[in-house]
Amino acid sequence: MTRLRFAPSPTGALHIGGIRTALYNYLLARSTGGQFILRIEDTDQARYMPGAEDYIIRSLAWLGLNPDEGPIQGGPFSPYRQSERTGIYQEHALQLVESRKAYIAFDTPEELDLMRQRLMDKGVSTPKYDASVREEMVNSLTLNADEVSRKMTGKVPYTIRLLVEPGHDVVIQDKIRGEVTFDSTELDDKILLKADGYPTYHLANVVDDHLMQITDVIRGEEWLPSTAHHVLLYRAFGWVDTMPTFSHLPLILKPNGQGKLSKRDGQKFGFPVFPLAWHSDHIEESIEGFDSYGFEPAAVINFLAFLGWNPGTEQEIFSLDQLIEVFDAERIHKGGARFDYDKALWFNSQYLQHLDYTIVHERLMQYAENENIDISGVHVEAVFKLLQPRLHRLKEFFTIGYYFFTDQLNYDDAEINKKWNPEAGALLQKIAEALKKTEPFTAENISIIVKELIAASGLKMGVIMPLVRASLTGAIQGADVFEIAGILGSAKTIERFVKMAGWNVPK
RNA sequence: GGCCCCUUCGUCUAUCGGUUAGGACGGCAGAUUUUCAUUCUGUAAAGAGGGGUUCGAUUCCCCUAGGGGCUGCCA
């Protein structure tokens, strides 16, 4: 039985890199009939952000990545919030101290700085708290038992550090990258338990993955270097037999390839990097999300799945369920992938083309309400069907089709002036008259009437048609004019033609 | 700087030693359309460089270069 977890830290909005990690975990869990667990790694009190956990949960729900176990649904390994498990980590850290795999360190942050400075002055490029310096520091290795217990009872702050033996290779097996070797001499004595009693990521992660019986760890590449420490921890605890497999995902890069995509890049490049929009007192400015940009969650899932993985066939459009069918962790790439917004838009439009109106109705109503758009008297479904092929994002619906919802048209004066002439105006007037008697007022009937009148007038299609469209929409290009007229209805259509008939071209 | 990872069209990628190096996005051209969008067709566009191994390397190995990650009592 496979068990995978997505373990984000609630320090802010989750961005698409995190979402993709969640997706791959979800996909592997579902494709192997295993469980998908959400664990909140809130062990950093300083960076904790209220609302972030809720944001994570809502984001996963929006995308359909529903956990089997987690802080909301509970589960056999509760609690799933690390801040509620501090006792467990303390016990385990102490256990390591007893077995001499870890030790207690009393050095203050200031003393640590001093140590680093001292080493750098000696020409050490990467000062580390390791075998080379731990004998010179204030810890349970250098102090005698009495001094240690006196400090402990005297409430002197302390941390617990992993004791790393230098001089041997630590080999990790990564499912994506193969064998990766680290020289333990390069590894520092990582802090396991912080002075505030909270564990660091390394301890909490290993302890929880073990206790929660996680079988496979899929996480970002930024964790590859510290995996050596994690393996050492599994050994120290004597858990190597049940150690999970590791897969380190390539990073999602900025569009220009310069570094990993970061939270600020949304602003910088003009596209969303977060799943959901978020307005909160706890963040400087409200952020946009794929949802507020008008993306379909299924499309977000689809293109994120393909950023670092592909099924090896030429099919690119996959629903979440289809992805579960074909997902194969063996095919995850090694190299980072740049985020390509154009391709994301293409995926989205592919989904938009095939959406049934019933699915978007509610969201459309929501957009209308948010932007104070009056939809009364408009057959929104018909408008949607007409505009559907031209939508790249659902949000564009009310901008592309604005002329259905207002009589204040934005006329493209320059183009209209170029085409307009008195004969065309007269024809428009004639068309308006004829349409008064057109019954029923359907696109087909309108088309017949208008085309007949145009033919009879002898005016060129290329001159009159742009004006016909501009009458109704303000612009000379766009959706089928007759369909537009049909949806607009007789009264508005005639009114708009009459208005255009009386257009004044400036001299 | 040190350690680690990575490297095929502009971008995302296929290729598990022998291919005219395939597809998608984007670009360009054309068809369809009254226009635009959609759709369809066509087209340009790639194995970082240098050494090996091999009858034969994009594919395996090494070096160089470039990119990225880590280097916190953050995750």
Average model confidence (pLDDT) for chain A?
Answer: 94
Which residue lies nearest B15, CA-to-C1' measured?
A312
Q: Answer yes or no: is pLDDT of A420 > 90.
A: yes
Q: Which residue minimizes Cα–C1' distance to B69?
A: A222
Residue A506 pLDDT greater than 90, yes or no: no
Distance CA A129, CA A120 (A): 13
Q: Between the CA of A271 and the C1' of B32, what is the distance in angstroms?
A: 33
**Regarding beta strands A178-183 and A169-174, do their DSSP bridges make them parallel or antiparallel, or are they unpaired?**
antiparallel
Give the model's pLDDT for residue A458. 87
At A323-382, the pLDDT tens digits run: 999 999 999 999 999 999 999 999 999 999 989 999 899 999 998 998 999 999 999 999
Q: What are phi and psi of A355, to 5 degrees?
A: -75, 140
pLDDT higher than 90, residue A234: yes
Residue A299 has pLDDT above 80, yes or no: yes
**Per-residue pLDDT at A439:** 85
pLDDT over 90 (residue A124)? no
How open is the CA angle A172-A173-A179, to the nearest 5 degrees? 85
- Rounded Cα gap, residues A144 and A71, in angstroms: 43
Distance CA A62, CA A203 (A): 31
Specify the residue for token string 């995190």.
A18
Q: Which residue has the least CA–C1' distance to nucleotide B73?
A: A194
Q: What's the first-to-final CA gap in chain A, in angstroms?
A: 80
The tokens of A200 are what?
């660091």
Chain B: bases < 7 Å from a protein Cβ: 1-8, 10-15, 22-26, 33-39, 67-75
Beta-carbon count within 10 A of A490 CB: 17
Q: What is the pLDDT of residue A70?
A: 98
The pLDDT of residue A505 is 83
Task: Specify whether the CB–CB gap between A211 and A181 falls below 8 A.
Answer: no
pLDDT tens, position by position, A66-81: 999 999 999 999 999 9
Report whether the peptide linkage leading into residue A79 is cis, meaning its omega lies within 30 degrees of zero.
Answer: yes
In single-letter form, the type of residue at position A155 comes to: K
A79 vs A50, A73, A85, A86, CA distance in Å?
Answer: 18, 10, 7, 11
Q: Over 80: is that where the pLDDT of A284 sits?
A: no
Q: Place A279 in a pLDDT band, splitting at 50, 70 and 90.
A: confident
Return the pLDDT at A286: 82
CA of A330 to C1' of B4 (A): 21
Q: Which of residues 300-319 of A touch strand B (CB under 7 A)?
A: 306-308, 310, 312, 314, 316
Taking the C-alpha atoms of residue A80 and residue A273, their distance in angstroms, rounded to an integer, is 26
pLDDT of A477 above 80 = yes
Measured between alpha carbons, how far is residue A80 from residues A7, A41, A67, A156, A237 in Å? 10, 9, 12, 30, 21
How far apart are the C-alpha atoms of A482 and A469, rounded to whole Å? Answer: 9
Residue with more model confidence, A131 or A283: A131
Q: In this predicted structure, what is the pLDDT of residue A159?
A: 97
Mean pLDDT of A457-462: 88
- Looking only at the bridges linking them, the beta strands covering A35-38 and A3-6 are parallel
Judge whether residue A285 has pLDDT over 80. no
Torsion of Cα atoms, A487 then A488 then A490 then A491, to 10°? 160
Q: Which of residues 41-80 of A touch strand B (CB under 7 A)?
A: 41, 43-44, 46-47
Summarised one tens digit per residue, pLDDT across range A29-48 is: 999 999 999 999 999 999 99
Is the per-residue pLDDT at A125 higher than 90? no
Chain A residues 351-390 with Cβ under 7 Å of strand B are 353, 389-390
CA–CA separation, A493 and A443 (whole Å): 12
- What DSSP character marks residue A162? E
Please tell me the predicted confidence (pLDDT) of residue A274.
96
Estimate in Å the CA A126 to C1' B72 gap, whole number: 13
CA of A247 to C1' of B58 (A): 25
User: Contact A82/A199 with Cβ under 8 angstroms?
Assistant: yes
Distance of A234 CA from B72 C1′ (whole Å):
22
- A150-179 pLDDT, tens per residue? 999 999 999 999 999 999 999 999 999 999
Q: Which helix (H) or strand (E) holds A140?
A: none
Question: Which residues of A are catalytic, by number?
Answer: 263
Judged against a pLDDT cut of 90, whether residue A507 lies above it is answered with no
